[in-house]
Amino acid sequence: MAEGIALTACLLVFGSRCHAQVNAMEGTSQVGQTRGTSIVPVAHPRVYADGRPAARFRLDAKDHGVVLRHGERPDGCDVYGARDVWVWKHRDTLYMHYDGAGRKGWLTCLAVSTDALHWTTMGPVLELGQKGERDAASASYGLVFQEGDSWHMFYLGTPNTSPAPELIPAFPYLTMKAEGPGPAGPWTKRYDVEPFAPRPGTYYSVTASPGYILRKRGEYRMFFSASTDRPILRTIGIARTRDLNGRWQVDEQPIVPPGEQVENTSIYYQETSGTWFLFTNHVGVRDGLEYTDAIWVYWTNDPERWDPANKAIVLDRENCRWSKEIIGLPSVVRIGERLALFYDGHAGEGIPPGAASHMQRDAGLAWLDLPLIVATRRTTSPPSRSH
């Protein structure tokens, strides 16, 4: 599902702390500091065969390696892979939703940790919908946030998959809703709520799957994954609502051009510099095969305006210790004076052929020392996006 799964949202309230998301704060930044991680130019940007844009900067994360391996659950819920993670913190516990690729299909599974390194898997928290439902083939990638006493999950649903045993979710990728009494559920699906849907003839014609949510002055903004088909062009759009159980309005234009070939979102706000960092996975291409090849980050001082030139590579084959080609779907959480970057990968060298490139993945962890330092910035700003 890598090339189309989007992050469903954890809540960040502008100017305040949110219990379900701890990645909104940052340490003190001072001139002449030695701590932190800097964005630096790339000497020789990567060149893609089809000419898709490359990142000209790096913000190098320090890779720890695998923290959750697939296939260890006795119920077999992740026997074919564990990937597409979303991590959040509530009180003293870290929670991870990940896509468990099992014999039934890809489902949102839960793992918990107190140190980010050691995880206890708990099994699926969503099941497939009945025949005819929008999530009859997959109910996966569940992003959770808390608002008051209410817990919300936006997850990816689809009625289509590839043949067994892979059962890889296929277009359309949809945003669906569930609710629960706490961070671990149990979750009740809200089939009566359809936040938004793919729209023919737009940049989100086949993918409109969930992403990170910001809230300001009573308006929620979801940075969702969007794509077209034939050709597949991937980007990030913004959907807006004032009612989490209501309809969302999608902006007419994405935040960056579809040719950027990025999907899924996790956002970190650095208060001291007033900078927003949007982490996303990039889809590269080699020998005609598309695959998730890196985690990128875009940065801005205004979450309504994003310059596609302001992007950097965070993790790829150069600095990942164990997955030398496939790097997928980021989720970031602040822990102390570091930003934890969770992602998925495939152990070893090379790109497995065909459907195998989506399977047998594990969840990894890398770190970014805070603060994040923007050493190079464009002096011009793109126009505001319509909405």
Which SS3 state, helix, strand or coil, does residue 358 take?
helix
Q: Name the DSSP class of 242.
A: S
Contact (CB, 8 A) for 313 and 281: no
pLDDT score of 350: 87
Confidence of residue 379 (pLDDT cuts 50, 70, 90): very low
Q: Which of 370, 379, 279 is nearest to 28 (CA)?
A: 370
Confidence of residue 105 (pLDDT cuts 50, 70, 90): very high
Q: Name the DSSP class of 205.
A: S
Q: Which of 254, 272, 163 is nearest to 208 (CA)?
A: 254
Question: If you count them, how many residues does the chain have?
Answer: 387
**Mean per-residue pLDDT over the chain, rounded:** 90
Q: Please tell me whether the overall predicted TM-score, pTM, comes out greater than 0.85 for this model.
A: yes
Q: Name the DSSP class of 7.
A: P
pLDDT score of 22: 34
Rounded Cα gap, residues 252 and 216, in angstroms? 20
Confidence of residue 382 (pLDDT cuts 50, 70, 90): low
Rounded Cα gap, residues 334 and 23, in angstroms? 4
Range with the lowest mean pLDDT among 7-11, 147-151, 220-224?
7-11
Contact (CB, 8 A) for 234 and 227: yes
Q: Name the DSSP class of 356.
A: G
Locate 203 and state its tokens. 């940049």
The residues facing 278 across adjacent strands are 267, 298
Q: Which of 193, 194, 188 is nearest to 126 (CA)?
A: 188
pLDDT score of 383: 52
pLDDT score of 376: 55
Rounded Cα gap, residues 356 and 74, in angstroms? 22
Element (H, E) at 298: strand 289-300
**262-315 pLDDT tens trace:** 999 999 999 999 999 999 999 999 988 999 999 999 999 999 999 999 999 999
Percent of the chain with pLDDT over 90: 83
Query: Domain 11-374 is in which class?
Result: mainly beta
Rounded Cα gap, residues 188 and 129, in angstroms? 12
**313-348 pLDDT tens trace:** 999 999 999 999 999 999 999 999 999 999 999 998
Q: Which of 301, 296, 343 is nearest to 322 (CA)?
A: 343
The four Cα atoms 256, 262, 267, 268 give a dihedral, to 10 degrees, of -90
Rounded mean pLDDT, 93-119:
98
Residue 66 above 60 pLDDT?
yes
Rounded Cα gap, residues 307 and 256, in angstroms? 7
What are the domain boundaries of the chain?
A: 11-374
**51-63 pLDDT tens trace:** 999 999 999 999 9
Q: Which of 295, 293, 274, 291 is nearest to 61 (CA)?
A: 295
Name the residue with higher pLDDT: 233 or 352: 233
The residues facing 279 across adjacent strands are 266, 297
Confidence of residue 155 (pLDDT cuts 50, 70, 90): very high
**3-26 pLDDT tens trace:** 433 333 333 333 333 333 333 333
The residues facing 214 across adjacent strands are 12, 221
